[in-house]
Chain A
Amino acid sequence: MNIVVCLKQVPETAEAEVKLASDKKGIEMEGLPLQINEADNYALEQALLLTEEHDGDVTVVTLGPDSSDEVLRMSMAKGAAEAVRLAGPAFDRGDPVAIARALAAAVKDLEYDLVLTGCMSSDDGNTAVGMALAECLDLPHATYVTQMEMGDGEVTVGRELEGGLIEKLKMKMPCVLGIQTGINEPRYASIMGIAKASKREIAMKSASDLGLDEGSVGEEGSRTKLEELAYPPVGEGAEILEGTPAESSGKLAEVLREKGFV
């Protein structure tokens, strides 16, 4: 069984200070650690587990800047056989549909029984590329997948809905699944694996390599446009209890006492 995993590199922003770039169309990337998108890491692990059990290869595909080679190499260090990167200015600033169109052009020529993606990326948060990709490839799809059970030419998936309710579906393969976090325990790459992967080839594909009209991808191929970024308006917000840990927690303990919790 061969599996294609579409994944991406994202900046870590949950803890870091995020600063807008001066043109207000992006953020300052300098100083932000780069890492594999969380849900994509689970998708990769799922592909590795399945191909280990059912024989086959994992191909990882990304659309992104030069720095994203790092997540491709890390994927190969963990066991992916091949890596493809869609590279070039034609792909820049694509909306989710344009990104899906580009990925589809690269994926369609690969051999696969399954295409896995993370269900959401932490940077743009579109929660859309995987399912749009399925439509571009004309394949059945399901997202928020937290359970998978392989059958003969089919897979039973559990989709996690609101409140943790699981929706069980039977899907024919090939299909595209958006993988949700928690489905497995992602492995770490071994030092040996990392050393070996550093010498591996990454197949670079430009729009013309993929037979794509440049106007059909990237900003030009997008039907939505990012106008401007801003910091979210600060509402009333919390009353901040200042001081050293001892002082601030002393104030909090007082508040809790006044409210009758202590």
Chain B
Amino acid sequence: MDEILVLAEHREGELRDITFEMLSKARSLGKDAGKSVTALLLGAGVGDYAEALKSHADEVLVLDHGNLKAFNAAVYQQVLSEVLKSREPSLVMIGHTAFGVDLAPGLAVTLELPFASDCIDLAYEGDDLKATRQIYEGKVNATVSFADAPTVLVTFRPSACPVEDAEASAGKVTELDVAVPEEPAMRQFLEYVEAAVGEVDITKADVVVSIGRGLREEENLPMIEELAEALGGVVACSRPCVDAGWLPKDRQVGSSGKTVKPKLYLAIGISGQFQHLSGMKAADTIVAVNKDPKAPIFSEADYGIVGDLMKVVPALKEKIAELRA
């Protein structure tokens, strides 16, 4: 039977959520299109993960090898090439993660696979796969089709698909026998370095007042700090504010920063790119202030104000002070 192959992603001893999100998507796709779902597990000392994967797939392929200890795109690409050549799955899914974006493009080039990245949805129309991608900073969706080929490759966006419950019937586990090259001298893993810890832990706060590039200038920060104080919260931000040096890295919310789950998240002058959303969408109440009514943040927020933050923030501070008085 035709198969959909999902590359399991794990890091530092844990399977990552994207793995189960992709398996869930693959299962619903497979049901509609009559394809089986295979999880491909590569790594060193990862045999145990097969247990967790097999209730989400028809088959788990395991290659447990010392040379796969570090994620090295050069090594993984070679192994994946071998596996794909021998199995010819009709679809290969890799996470659109730091791991996946480093690996998938090269694989597409060497194997000449039709390839679409950062897909948020996939569907079969007959035998033809259609992918949905988001472009222009979340303001446009694009439908992409693939050339006729035995195998097509996609990277799939994290948090784009909910994780479905495990299936009662567990899939089988197969050990793979594929040669694994050593890490090449041209690219060698050295170490992981944890992000620095700051004085404020934004993940512990009940109220997070978060600013984005819409703040325009560092000079405008004090009014945000005052608003945060009035609400008993902490100031956090989107990535560009850290890049610009307005706030330290430990205040950054999003995929390459912190994940926060406060009771209240105020997003001020933040457009709501998926990398930001993934770090805050679990907040209980989300309020967005943005001058652009089409900003993607409004689809995630519970309450919104369309307006100029330079006017709304001072006004809000005043109203809160009035209520307090």
Which A residues lie at the B interface, using CB under 8 A?
11, 13-15, 17-18, 20, 27, 38, 95-97, 100-101, 119, 122-132, 134-136, 140-144, 156, 158-172, 175, 178, 180-182, 185, 222-235, 237-241, 245-246, 248-250, 252-257, 259, 261-262
A127 touches B96 (CB 8 A): yes
Cβ-neighbour of A128 out of B115, B271, B324 (below 8 A): B115
B98 touches A249 (CB 8 A): no
A-B contact number at CB 8 A: 290
Min C-beta distance of A40 to chain B, whole Å:
14
A128 touches B104 (CB 8 A): yes
A239→B307 CA distance, assembly (Å): 14
Contact of B195 with A by CB under 8 A: yes
Min C-beta distance of B78 to chain A, whole Å:
12
B11 CB contacts on chain A under 8 angstroms: 161-162, 165
Min C-beta distance of A12 to chain B, whole Å:
9
A224→B149 CA distance, assembly (Å): 11
Known: A18-B136, A127-B101, A162-B255. A230 touches B109 (CB 8 A): no
A132 touches B195 (CB 8 A): no
- Additional pairs, 5, CB under 8 Å, beyond known A142-B102, A226-B144, A238-B303: A135-B105, A224-B147, A241-B304, A250-B319, A253-B323
Known: A124-B135, A172-B186. A164 touches B312 (CB 8 A): no
B187 touches A169 (CB 8 A): yes
B256 touches A162 (CB 8 A): yes
A225 CB contacts on chain B under 8 angstroms: 144-147
B133 CB contacts on chain A under 8 angstroms: 125
Contact of B225 with A by CB under 8 A: no
Which B residues lie at the A interface, using CB under 8 A?
11, 16, 71, 73-74, 96-99, 101-102, 104-106, 108-110, 112-118, 130-131, 133-147, 149, 155, 184-195, 207, 213-214, 231-232, 239-240, 242-243, 245, 249, 252, 255-259, 263-264, 271, 285-288, 291-294, 296, 298-308, 311-312, 315-316, 318-320, 322-324
A169 touches B302 (CB 8 A): no
B319 touches A253 (CB 8 A): yes
A230 touches B187 (CB 8 A): no
A224 CB contacts on chain B under 8 angstroms: 114-116, 131, 144-147
B146 touches A223 (CB 8 A): yes
Min C-beta distance of B128 to chain A, whole Å:
10
Cβ-neighbour of A135 out of B99, B110, B139, B249 (below 8 A): B110
B315 touches A167 (CB 8 A): no
B301 CB contacts on chain A under 8 angstroms: 237-238
Shortest 4 CB-CB contacts between residues of A and residues of B: A164-B195, A238-B304, A253-B319, A182-B243
B139 CB contacts on chain A under 8 angstroms: 13, 18, 231-232
B306 touches A240 (CB 8 A): yes
B117 touches A127 (CB 8 A): yes
Known: A14-B137, A237-B299. A141 touches B185 (CB 8 A): no
Query: Of all chain A residues, which has the CB nearest B190?
Result: A168
A185→B26 CA distance, assembly (Å): 42
A97 touches B316 (CB 8 A): no
A128 touches B312 (CB 8 A): no
A248 touches B195 (CB 8 A): no
13 examples of A-B residue contacts, CB within 8 angstroms: A135-B109, A140-B184, A140-B187, A141-B102, A143-B101, A164-B257, A167-B71, A171-B188, A181-B240, A238-B298, A239-B302, A241-B305, A261-B264
Query: Of all chain A residues, which has the CB nearest B269?
Result: A15
A226→B239 CA distance, assembly (Å): 30
Min C-beta distance of B205 to chain A, whole Å:
12
A239→B287 CA distance, assembly (Å): 9
A232 touches B213 (CB 8 A): no
Known: A165-B195, A224-B116, A232-B140. A160 touches B106 (CB 8 A): no
A159 touches B102 (CB 8 A): yes
Min C-beta distance of A117 to chain B, whole Å:
11
Query: Of all chain B residues, which has the CB nearest A225?
Result: B145
B74 touches A140 (CB 8 A): yes
Known: A13-B139, A160-B98, A249-B315. A166 touches B105 (CB 8 A): no
A143→B213 CA distance, assembly (Å): 24
Min C-beta distance of A103 to chain B, whole Å:
12
A164 CB contacts on chain B under 8 angstroms: 195, 249, 252, 256-258
* Highest count of chain B CB atoms <10 Å: which of A123, A130, A131, A156: A131
A248→B314 CA distance, assembly (Å): 12
Query: Of all chain A residues, which has the CB nearest B284?
Result: A259
B319 touches A14 (CB 8 A): no
Known: A224-B147, A256-B231. A170 touches B190 (CB 8 A): yes
B193 touches A168 (CB 8 A): yes
B319 CB contacts on chain A under 8 angstroms: 246, 249-250, 252-253
A128 touches B187 (CB 8 A): no
Known: A163-B195, A241-B305. A97 touches B115 (CB 8 A): yes
A171 CB contacts on chain B under 8 angstroms: 186-188
A123 touches B136 (CB 8 A): yes
A167→B195 CA distance, assembly (Å): 11
A147→B5 CA distance, assembly (Å): 34
A245 touches B312 (CB 8 A): yes
Min C-beta distance of A26 to chain B, whole Å:
10
Min C-beta distance of A220 to chain B, whole Å:
11
B231 touches A223 (CB 8 A): no
Query: Of all chain B residues, which has the CB nearest A253?
Result: B319
